Chain A
Amino acid sequence: MTGNGHGTVTGRLTRGRLWALVLAVVLLCGGATAYTLRAADRTALPVETPGGPALTLEGPAGGFLFRDTVTGRVGRHDPGAPGPRAVGGPRCDRFHAAGPTALCLQRRPGVPTRSYAIVLDRRLRELRRIALPGIPNRARVSASGQMLSWTMFATGDSYATSAFSTRTSILDLRTGYLVKNMEQIPLTLHGRRYHAPDVNYWGVTFARDDNRFYATVATKGRTYLVEGDMRRWSARTLRGNVECPSLSPDDTRIAFKKKVSDDPKAPWRLHVLDLRTLREHAVAEERSIDDQAAWTDDRTLAYGHEGSVWTVPADGTGTPRRSVSGATSPAVLR
C-alpha cells in the first residue's frame, strides 16, 4: 500500500520480530479482554430477590440509611437487628433522606454521560426526576423533607481545561420551584456586594425553618461559609476555610471540612463550628475526610471514608468508630 517506502520497512521486519509482535498483540488483547470480562462479572448486579419487607424511611432510632457500595442501592443499618442488610430502591451515586423524602443522584453510563436527581417518597418510589449535567457530588434534604439541594461537578465549562467547577441546585417541593444553578444569588463578601465570574457553590445544608441555609462558596481559590436566605434570595459570607457544611439538628452548630494542609494526600480535617460563638474545634477523626458529614443526633457525626460509614462524637472527644462497611452517604432514619 505504500510502495517502496513500506517495502523497505517490512524488509527490515524480520519474520521473527513480526511473529513476536503478533504474539504480543494476541497476549495484550487476550489480557485486556479477560480483565474486562472479569470486571463485568464482578460489577454485575446480584439477581434481585422479590419479596421481603420493602425498605422505607422510617426505622428505630440510632439506625440510618446509606448507599450500599456493592449494589449502589439504598441500604439500612439497624443497630438492634444484625444480620444481612436490607437493600432496596434505585441505584444511586449519592443519597440523602430526611422526613418523608429521599434524594438519589444517579449517573447513567453512555456517550454523553447523563445524570439525574431523583426525588423519592418514604417507600423509595420515584416522585420526580430531573436530568442534570455533570457528575453527582453532594445531596441534601432538609429536616422537613421539603427542601432539596444537590451539587454536581461539571468538567470543561471553565477556561482552564482540566479545572472543575460545581453547579448547585435547590428544589422546593412545596412549590416545585427549581433553582438549577444558584451561582447567580446576590452574594455579600466581607460585608460588600461581590461580583466575579468564578464563584462556585457546593454543599448546601438547610435550617429547620426551610428558609435559612448554609453552603460553601469558592472564589479566587478561597472557600467561605455563606449563610443564605431563600425568601430574600441572598447570601453573605460568615468566615473563611469552610467546606461542605452540615447543620446540627438543633440548628446551633455546623460540621464541616476544614483545609488544614497543602499536602494533597491529607488536605482536610473534620471540624465543628458553634454558630453563636463562632468558635470551632476539630473532632477526634484525624484522617482527611472528604464528605459532607451527617448528624445522627445532636451529639454524633456520620461520614463516609474509604467505602465505610464512620461515626465520631461532635464535641471533639472519643474516637471514630466504623459503623457500616461497604457503605457511603449516611442519612438518619426517622
Chain B
Amino acid sequence: MYLATTGRPDAPPPRTGARRRVGGTVLALGTVSLVTDISSEMVTAVLPLYLVLGLGLSPLQFGFLDGLFNGATALVRLLGGHAADRGGRHKRVAGIGYALSACSRLGLLLAGGATGWIAAALAGDRLGKGIRTAPRDALITLSSPPEDLGRAFGVHRAMDTTGALLGPLAAFALLWATADAYDAVFVVSFCVGVLGVLLLAVLVPGGAAGAATVRGAAGREPRPRTATLLAPLRSAPYRRILGATALLGAVTVGDAFVYLLLQRRLDLAVTWFPFLPLGAAAGYLLLAVPAGRLADRIGRRRPFLYGHGAILLAYALLLSPGPDLLVLGVVLGLLGVFYAATDGVLMALTGPLLPAGRRASGLALVQTVQALARLLAATGFGAAWTVWGPSTALVLAAAGLSAALGGARFLLPEDPPVEGHPSTERHSS
C-alpha cells in the first residue's frame, strides 16, 4: 500500500534524529504555488477596480456568476484528480491547470469591455485552479515519506500563502507606477503565471523519473482506468474521514462572515476591510509549518479537531463582550490556527490511506466534499443571519460546530496505521 514511499528518487535521507528536511519536489511545488499565487492574487486584487473604473461596468452582475463557477469547479476537481491518476500523469494534469490559469490573464487583456469574455476568462482561471489542486497535493504525498507529510504540506502551504500575500502588493505597486494601467497588471500577471508553469516543468520531477515511481506504484494495483470516480470510497477509514470532513465543513461558517462580524463590531472603515484576511493569512503563514510538524508527531487527527476547536473559540469570542481590539487580534490569530491545523493536515491525514494510484482522485473527493459542505454552511448561515440576525446565527453556528466536533471525534479514524509504525520507531531512536 505504501509502495510509493519506498525507493523514491528524491527521498530525504533517513532520519538521523534532529532536523529532517523537506523533499526537493515539495520545495519545487511550493515555489510553483508561490509564483502562481502572486500571479492570481494580482488579478483578484485589481479586478473590482478594473471592472468599475477601467471599464465602467456595474459588477453586481458578477456576483451571480460566482456561485455557478463554484459548482462547476467542484466537478472539474474530481475530473482533474481522476485524469491525474490514470497512468500517473499528475505533473501533466497539474501543468494543464496552471497553464489554463495563466492564459486566462491574456483572456482578460483581450476581452476589453466584453463582459461575456471577462466572465469566460474568470471561469478559465477557476477551472485551472480546480484541475491542478488535487494532482499537486497528490504529488506532495507521493514525494514525501508518510510520517513527514504534515510538515511537507505545512511548508507547501506556507509558501503558497506567501505568494497570496505578495500578489496584491505587487498589483497595487504596478497600478501606482503606471497610473492605473490595468493591462500592465494583466501582462505582468501572465508572465508570472507562465513562469510558474515553466518552474513546474523544469523543477518538478514528472516524466521519466518522477512518474516512474507513481506508475510503478500504480501498476501493482487495479488500474484506475477501470475504477470509477468513487473508487476510494471502498476504504473504511477514508469514508470516515470524508464523513467527518463533510460534517465539520457544513457547520464552518466561512471566514467572510467572521470578517463581516468583526467589521460590524469594531465599526471598521471599509478601507481597512481588505486587511482582515491578510491578518489571518499572516497567521496561517507563520503557523503552517509548526502545525504540520505537530501533526507528524501526535497524529493528524488531533490537530484537525483542534483547528476546528480554534474556530469554535473564535465564534465564542465574537459573542463575548471583551475589548474590541483584543477580540480582533485573537480572532484573526484563531483563523490562522484553523487554516494551519486543518488545510494541509487534512491532506496529510487522507493521503497515506489511499493507494498511490488513486491518490489524486481520493484527495479531490475530500476537497470537493469539503468545499460543497462549506458552501452549504455559508448559504445556511446567510439565511439565518437574514431571519434571526447575526448574534442568533452565530450562536446556532457555534452549537452546530460543537455537535459536529463531537461527531467528528468519533468518526475520524483513531490512529491511521501509517503513523503508528514510524512514530514508534522514531521514539525509540
In terms of DSSP, what is the predominant structure of the interface of chain A?
mixed
Residue of B nearest to A18 (CB): B202
Assembly CA distance A299 to B30 (angstroms): 63
Contact B52 A137 (CB under 8 A): yes
Among B24, B67, B194, B386, contact of A197 (Cβ-Cβ < 8 Å): B386
Residue of B nearest to A305 (CB): B56
B48-86, CB under 8 A of A: which get 1 and which 0?
110011001111111101110000000000000000000
**Separation in Å of the A258 CB from the closest CB of chain B?**
13
Among B113, B179, B188, contact of A43 (Cβ-Cβ < 8 Å): B179
In terms of DSSP, what is the predominant structure of the interface of chain B?
helix
**Separation in Å of the A44 CB from the closest CB of chain B?**
7
Residues of A within 8 A of B256 (CB): 156, 158-161
In A136-169, the 8 Å CB interface with B consists of 136-137, 153-164, 166-167
In A276-329, the 8 Å CB interface with B consists of 290-291, 304, 306, 328
In A5-63, the 8 Å CB interface with B consists of 5-10, 12-13, 17-18, 20-21, 24-25, 28-29, 31-32, 35-36, 39-40, 42-45
Contact B63 A163 (CB under 8 A): yes
Is A89 interfacial (CB 8 A cutoff)? Answer: no
Assembly CA distance A262 to B192 (angstroms): 35
Contact A153 B48 (CB under 8 A): yes
Residue of A nearest to B381 (CB): A159
Task: Check A6/B119 contact, CB under 8 A, given A160-B66, A265-B114.
Answer: no
Contact A109 B180 (CB under 8 A): yes
Residues of A within 8 A of B306 (CB): none
Residues of A within 8 A of B385 (CB): 159, 197
Assembly CA distance A43 to B185 (angstroms): 14
B3-30, CB under 8 A of A: which get 1 and which 0?
0000001111100000001111101100
Interface size class of A (residues with CB under 8 A): 35 or more
Among A2, A21, A153, A159, contact of B202 (Cβ-Cβ < 8 Å): A21
Interface size class of B (residues with CB under 8 A): 35 or more
Among B10, B202, B270, contact of A134 (Cβ-Cβ < 8 Å): B270
Residues of B within 8 A of A265 (CB): 114-116
Assembly CA distance A24 to B271 (angstroms): 38
Assembly CA distance A160 to B70 (angstroms): 12
Contact B181 A39 (CB under 8 A): yes
Task: Check A162/B53 contact, CB under 8 A, given A13-B203, A109-B180, A218-B60.
Answer: no
Is B178 interfacial (CB 8 A cutoff)? Answer: yes
Contact A9 B28 (CB under 8 A): yes
Contact A31 B48 (CB under 8 A): no
**Separation in Å of the A13 CB from the closest CB of chain B?**
7
Is A93 interfacial (CB 8 A cutoff)? Answer: yes
B148-177, CB under 8 A of A: which get 1 and which 0?
000000000000000000001100111111
Among B56, B168, B179, B195, contact of A291 (Cβ-Cβ < 8 Å): B56
Residue among B28, B175, B203, B257 with the highest chain A CB neighbour number at 10 A? B203
Residues of A within 8 A of B178 (CB): 36, 39-40, 43
Is B229 interfacial (CB 8 A cutoff)? Answer: no
Is A251 interfacial (CB 8 A cutoff)? Answer: no
Is B274 interfacial (CB 8 A cutoff)? Answer: yes
**Separation in Å of the A157 CB from the closest CB of chain B?**
6
Contact B13 A3 (CB under 8 A): yes
Assembly CA distance A17 to B203 (angstroms): 9
Assembly CA distance A93 to B27 (angstroms): 44
**Separation in Å of the A25 CB from the closest CB of chain B?**
6
Is A111 interfacial (CB 8 A cutoff)? Answer: yes
Residue of B nearest to A198 (CB): B386
Contact B52 A36 (CB under 8 A): no
Assembly CA distance A28 to B198 (angstroms): 11
Assembly CA distance A162 to B51 (angstroms): 13
Is B382 interfacial (CB 8 A cutoff)? Answer: yes
Residue of A nearest to B187 (CB): A35
B105-118, CB under 8 A of A: which get 1 and which 0?
00000000111100
Assembly CA distance A292 to B370 (angstroms): 42
Contact B13 A159 (CB under 8 A): no
Task: Check A109/B21 contact, CB under 8 A, given A21-B198, A160-B256, A304-B56.
Answer: no
Residues of A within 8 A of B180 (CB): 43, 109
**Separation in Å of the B111 CB from the closest CB of chain A?**
11
Is A264 interfacial (CB 8 A cutoff)? Answer: yes
Contact B175 A32 (CB under 8 A): no
Assembly CA distance A167 to B270 (angstroms): 10
B178-207, CB under 8 A of A: which get 1 and which 0?
111101100110011011001100110100
Is B275 interfacial (CB 8 A cutoff)? Answer: yes
In A238-253, the 8 Å CB interface with B consists of 243
Is A190 interfacial (CB 8 A cutoff)? Answer: no
**Separation in Å of the B252 CB from the closest CB of chain A?**
14
Is A4 interfacial (CB 8 A cutoff)? Answer: yes
Is B263 interfacial (CB 8 A cutoff)? Answer: yes
Is A196 interfacial (CB 8 A cutoff)? Answer: yes
Among B48, B174, B181, B194, contact of A28 (Cβ-Cβ < 8 Å): B194
Point out residues on B near A: beta carbons under 8 Å.
9-13, 21-25, 27-28, 48-49, 52-53, 56-63, 65-67, 113-116, 119, 168-169, 172-181, 183-184, 187-188, 191-192, 194-195, 198-199, 202-203, 205, 208-209, 254, 256-257, 259-260, 263, 269-275, 378, 381-382, 385-386
Point out residues on A near B: beta carbons under 8 Å.
2-10, 12-13, 17-18, 20-21, 24-25, 28-29, 31-32, 35-36, 39-40, 42-45, 93, 107, 109-114, 133-137, 153-164, 166-167, 196-198, 218, 243, 263-265, 267, 290-291, 304, 306, 328
12 residue pairs from A and B, CB less than 8 Å apart: A2-B24, A5-B10, A12-B208, A36-B181, A39-B187, A45-B179, A133-B270, A156-B270, A157-B273, A160-B63, A197-B385, A291-B56
4 nearest interchain CB pairs?
A133-B270, A9-B24, A39-B181, A163-B63
